[in-house]
Amino acid sequence: MFTKIDKFRYLIPKSYKQGMKIDGLVYATDKMIGQIEKDQTKEQVANVATLPGFVGKSLAMPDAHQGYGFCIGGVAAADINNGVVSAGGVGFDINCGVRLLATQFGLSDVKPKLEQLLNRLFRDIPCGTGKKGLLNVSRSELDDVLRDGAEWAVKNNYGNDRDLAHIEEYGKIPNADPALVSIRAKERGHNQLGTLGSGNHFLEIQVVSEIFDSEVAKNFGLSQGQIVVLIHSGSRGLGHQVCTDYLDMMQSGMKKYGISVVDRQLACVPINSKEGQNYLSAMAASANFAFANRQMITHWTREVFHQILGSGDLKIVYDVCHNIAKYEDHDVDGKRKKVLVHRKGATRAFPKNHIALPQELRGFGQPVLIPGSMGTCSYVLVGTELAMKETFGSSCHGAGRSKSRTQAKKETSVEELFREMKSKDIIVQGETKSGLTEEKPDAYKDVSEVVDVVHGAGIALKVAKLFPLAVMKG
């Protein structure tokens, strides 16, 4: 049962299901609610509301769809004293996230060399399932990566200090402990640093096609007609293995701590337990791997632009996590509390004056990056005070799937996909045919509708629209 609150908000009252301790809240339009009700999203939002120690509301952003335990597009926060942490509330691709790079080039500079740029990026940045990277770090070097994240890359001349200031958490989640990452996870990750991956991960050369807020856009370093690069990648096999390892641990831990859940995919342990702290330290290490991974991809991208266009001065606008759990201070029921915010396919969206932001962004707010889907536009938004009050400072993370990968592959051949992309003047390179067709644009919701909801609801405001010119897929 949904109770419509206003044009963009639908309540799932805690009377909906036995055991719910807090209400659920879904951001959507009437049309989107119809889509959301086709899968288990609503039940998953309600199920999360039954977890011990969760506060505020169990939230779903407008890009929400069914996930593992928590829905993708889900946000929920636990009291650190009596709450639990759930590996399913973070997901398998720990710190999957996006990074936006701003170039000094305009469309006329890049268009004649676009195909050359894409071919060289495709050659120099490994992509695809299990693909090895250009670096093969030793075990001790990998531990340094897991501990220091993007800071490791900058120390090794793959970036600069300004880069770190424009990454969420400055590219390094604290309390990461490489010793709590399994040998198997390290084996899967040691040769994947600087690789894009597969599925919905991508690198796109885009053009800023529209500006909604010129003052904020200028502060972010964005202008109409400017060429930008959007990178979407995560912690690869290493993060996936960490999630797998700790899901097993949490299943056992629930018996030890007398916790029962309505869905076994919500396996969880108390935040302050040894098991909970171990997971959070391993998760932080995986997140740091992902920050370093996007930093290495940034380095190869800068090299390609330098080789072909004569300058690799690409500045990071911002880098945000999608799948993460972090300690943050928020107002809950009128009181300031430290909580553990689970963002599962959601983006942090902090407002201006927030202490977590670097000085140059503090007067405007955090860039919120919302990617489209190969043939559709992407958006840059900015966080708001209302998000701090309603969503633990969070917004959506993308368009959100509307069709399964299997259905998408059945519906379209790669030849049809290339024709569609050509009609939009977009060039595409992909590692496999199936990897391309399962990510076809209409396998996702309309990203503009999703963004209109968070903008209309006031939890993030539109700054700029970006349109893809060249797409690289794993």
Instruction: Tell me how far apart the alpha carbons of residues 298 and 354 are, in angstroms, rounded to a whole number.
Output: 26
The alpha-helical segments, DSSP class H, found in 221-338 are 236-257, 274-309
Instruction: Tell me how far apart the alpha carbons of residues 65 and 408 are, in angstroms, rounded to a whole number.
Output: 16
Strand partners, 229: 101, 205
* Residues 6 or more apart in contact with residue 64 via CB below 8 angstroms: 26, 28, 36, 41, 45, 71, 72, 73, 74, 345, 400
Q: Which of 451, 373, 379 is nearest to 408 (CA)?
A: 373
Residue 244 CB-half CA count within 13 A: 10
Exactly one of 65, 322, 330, 397 is catalytic; which is it? 397
Tokens of residue 339, six digits: 């909580």
Instruction: Tell me how far apart the alpha carbons of residues 328 and 112 are, in angstroms, rounded to a whole number.
Output: 46
CB 70 within 8 A of CB 76: yes
CB 297 within 8 A of CB 314: no
CB 220 within 8 A of CB 242: no
Q: How many CB atoms lie within 10 A of CB 35?
A: 17
Q: Is 299 a catalytic residue?
A: no
Which amino acid is present at 187? E
Q: Where are the beta strands (DSSP E) in 294-403?
A: 315-321, 323-332, 335-344, 347-348, 367-370, 378-383, 394-395
Q: Which of 52, 58, 47, 61 is nearest to 22 (CA)?
A: 58
Tokens of residue 375, six digits: 């043939």
CA-only gyration radius of the chain, Å? 21
CB 152 within 8 A of CB 178: no
Q: Which of 267, 350, 311 is nearest to 89 (CA)?
A: 267
Q: What's the maximum distance between 2 C-alpha atoms anywhere in the chain? A: 64
Instruction: Sort residue 136 into left (φ over 0), alpha (ψ -120 to 50) or beta.
Output: beta
Which amino acid is present at 474? G
* Residues 6 or more apart in contact with residue 77 via CB below 8 angstroms: 54, 55, 56, 83, 328, 330, 332, 339, 340, 341, 342, 392
Residues taking part in catalysis: 397
